[in-house]
A and B are shown apart, each in its own frame.
Chain A
Amino acid sequence: MMMYVAFIMSIIFMVSLVGVSSKPSPIYGGLGLIVGGAMGCGIVFSFGGSFLGLMMFLVYLGGMLVVFGYTTAMATEQYPEAWISNKVVLGGFLLGLVVEILAVFCVLESENMGIVFDFGGLGDWDCCGVGSFEVFSEEIMGIAGLYSYGTWLVVVTGWSLFVGVVVVMEITRSN
């Protein structure tokens, strides 16, 4: 059972994203994103990336989704569209659900569950260090590498996020 925890979390992840993309009102979309984000964090946890999972909880769910929730609450209507209030939304959700169940059966019936588990490599036990062979967590070494070798990547990513905000502000202001 514990072996399949990442698989189950990915199923709930997909179902919540289907709930988001079947286009209910943004409030309910945000609810779907919360569940999806939490499941995504869970998958990252189960692969050993505890720091990055908690980082995602903090920044994504605790920062970005909170801001999204506040702005949606300011712009919401009196009778928001839920998943069961409209046949179109319900139909879209059910279609996504049916396809997801079919995909799950396909993965469970096949011999090799290569889609989910078989990523190859040493997993999170990677050997860094030249002289003595020490064992470090690949995730921590990746984060350390991001801020040392990957300075330019941080600059470019920061700039593109800044430009994203500038673009949205520029488009939505009325002149």
Chain B
Amino acid sequence: MFAAPWVCRSCSRLAARPLRSSQLLRRASTAPISNAVLLPPALLQRAQKLAAEHASLQKSLATDFDSKTAKRAGELGSVAAALKDYQDAKASLSELDALLSSPDAELRDLARDDVPPTTAQLRSAARRLSAALTPKHPFAEMPCLIEFRPGPGGLESRFFTDSLFRMYQAYCARKGYRCKVVKYETSDASGGASGYAGESPLQEAVLEIEDPGSYDVFRGEAGIHRVQRVPSTEKSGRTHTSAAALWVLPSLAETGAGAEQEADFSDPESDFYVDVAEVKSEVMRARGAGGQHVNKTESAIRLTHVPTGISVSMQDHRSQHRNREAAWKVLRSRLAQKRREEREEMARSLRSSVLAKNQVTRGDKIRTYNYQQDRCTDHRSGVDVHNLPDVLAGGEMFDRVIESVREYLVQNEIEAVIADEQLASEQAEGKGKK
């Protein structure tokens, strides 16, 4: 009769009875519904503050227009809208709560039917609100440059850096990002050796990803990437550990909004501003008279930003002019990143020490590629994927790693915002007491 050998009595009784939706629903009366999806109070406080600012900005915009104010108001608009949705949903839920305890049976039923959609609404509003509150990285909308540099570990780390470079190139090709090799410099000291799958000994490379917003996609990739494998040059089969460093820098879009961009790096307030007088440029000078007398093909150029000591050399292109422009671009990006990092460092030192531990800085290793175990591990998100060849080909496995890191970063930033708010409110209280 039954396929199963034995069914307990209460279950079989349940199966015999016609199913009613109310049985599966958790009753509203058993727990206050709205609690399930409440946001932390610190986050809500911040939202309310921003919404208030938005309202006052709107008021001032009505009387006199200012493009800066309008921009700020636009940024806050999403927070204000999400907060309003959230508050509406919460209000209607608490109304429903009240109705559920009303003596009228019909009213109770009606209210009960309304609970699930309203809860869903509240949940989505909460998600949108926390997303809107997550501080958008100031460079998030920008294209980016990825710099690849071998770490200590000699030839082996250079070979691996080349693998990483190809991995990102393949990933961009698969994802349809437009990317351009700005610099690709191999060292000539390899002595004819070559790494896994024809890797060349990479000295330094810069990959530019031209899509706006790519900075946000790739910024989690910056840090030390570690490799564990038996190098192709190793005779006795020992596993070596070496590393490559990746820097992700924001870059300025070349095309579109040309005038605006131009203003961007000629504005001393901008992160990208570089005072031309502070940059020393060295070129391969032809000996002798130069000009028509010689026809040198050496087009290398080095720019040094004197106050910070940052220097960029470029020799990829046949035209010195283009090398110079590429070098300026990388120099601007490096300076902008440096300035940004200094500011973040300051903000971080104000935060609680608990959170500071979570922060990953440039010097920390973030990921391990282990060839023998066919594994790639991200040390921040803790994600572990296998099928290393697919990862190194920029395939779907690599997607999973990148996605996990992005989620991790967003989570971290929300926590940082909450910590900031708590700190601010504690300070405010402290002041109030005094």
Partners in one complex: no
Q: Which residues in B have some Cβ–Cβ distance to A below 8 Å?
A: none
